[in-house]
Amino acid sequence: MEQIENQTPEKEQELEAGRMPFMAHLVELRKRLIYSVLAVAVGFGICFPFKEKLLAFIIDPLKAVLPEGTKLVYIALPEAFFTYLKISILAGILLAMPVIFYQIWRFVGPGLYQHEKKYAAFFVLASSFLFLGGAVFGYGVVFPFGFQFFASLQTQDIELLPRLKDYFSLTVRLLIAFGATFELPVVIFILARMGLVTDKTLRKNRKWAFLMAFVVGAILTPADWISQVAMAIPLIVLFEISIWVAKFFGKKKKPETDEEAPAERPAEKDEKGKKE
């Protein structure tokens, strides 16, 4: 209520100009979804001719820890074909990521002030960079440690024969999880701009954030402690970055004016009069 009362007429007019009826929101959402799907379709068309190379790139971390000559197997007849389709779609989504984030920003843009809309480029670039950075980190750092751990469980009685479908499903879930986790600074930026979190709040809860980093690392990575720590460390670094993001980009509180200052109570006035 205080936030609404403290809005200037100019800001009220600015918000009113950006408001749309409910049906208009649905039409706008459909429009942004269509653009996003078209961008993914274009990315899929670009990536599908390179499906074999993309699949070889995905399975490289596993092949590096398997005995020489070991291959991934597929059991169902269409399994390899559908895997090629899925990996091409995944690559198309990664390629279209800037367009997707831009469409998200265009959808929420009408509900923002004019001075807040200038962060569109930051949102698009930062979101795309962090998501891809998380996927690259998972692929280049966590996968080698995790797959080495799984491969080390082989004995004379059991042998690892990885199935193509299962391996691809596992890697996709992990890559998406790493990419989403690395979006933490962008999420904190949005919450700070909305006034829901502050840098002081984040600093106060730093120890819980560190604990959650190791919990998330234990959930998203295999059972070995090395990959868990490798996942937790960048999360802690991202949290520290988020504190500074909240500090510099968070919503600033307006200083109280004389009109907003609390009125003196009668007892306080009488005491002042006696002193005088």
Residues 6 or more apart from 55 whose CB is under 8 A from it?
Answer: 83, 84, 87
pLDDT at residue 60 above 80? yes
pLDDT at residue 29 above 50? yes
What confidence tier does 160 reach under pLDDT thresholds 50, 70, 90? confident
- The residue ranking higher by pLDDT, 264 or 228, is 228
Task: State residue 12's pLDDT score.
Answer: 53
Residues 6 or more apart from 220 whose CB is under 8 A from it?
Answer: 174, 177, 178, 181, 231
pLDDT at residue 47 above 90? yes
Backbone angles phi, psi at 131, to 5 degrees: -65, -45
In 10 A of CB 62, how many CB atoms?
A: 22
Task: State residue 259's pLDDT score.
Answer: 46
Distance set, CA 192 to CA 128, 186, 200, 252 (Å): 20, 10, 11, 9
Digit-coded pLDDT (tens) for 192-214 = 877 788 888 888 888 888 888 88
Helix axes 120-137, 184-193, angle to 10 degrees: 150
Return left, alpha or beta for 222; rule: phi > 0 is left, psi -120 to 50 is alpha, else beta.
beta
Q: With CA atoms as reference, report the closest residue to 142 among 101, 185, 175, 165.
A: 175
pLDDT at residue 4 above 50? no
Task: State residue 276's pLDDT score.
Answer: 52
Task: Give me the helices (H) in the chain, please.
Answer: 2-5, 9-18, 22-47, 51-63, 79-95, 97-108, 120-137, 143-151, 164-181, 184-193, 199-204, 206-220, 225-249, 266-275
Average pLDDT, the chain: 79
Burial code (b: 16+ CB inside 10 Å, e: under 16) for 167-180 equals bbebbeebbbbbbe
Q: What is the mean predicted confidence (pLDDT) over 21-37?
A: 84
What confidence tier does 3 reach under pLDDT thresholds 50, 70, 90? very low
What confidence tier does 235 reach under pLDDT thresholds 50, 70, 90? confident
- Give the chain's length: 276
Task: State residue 33's pLDDT score.
Answer: 93
- The residue ranking higher by pLDDT, 78 or 123, is 78
What confidence tier does 44 reach under pLDDT thresholds 50, 70, 90? very high
pLDDT above 90 covers a percentage of the chain that reads 18
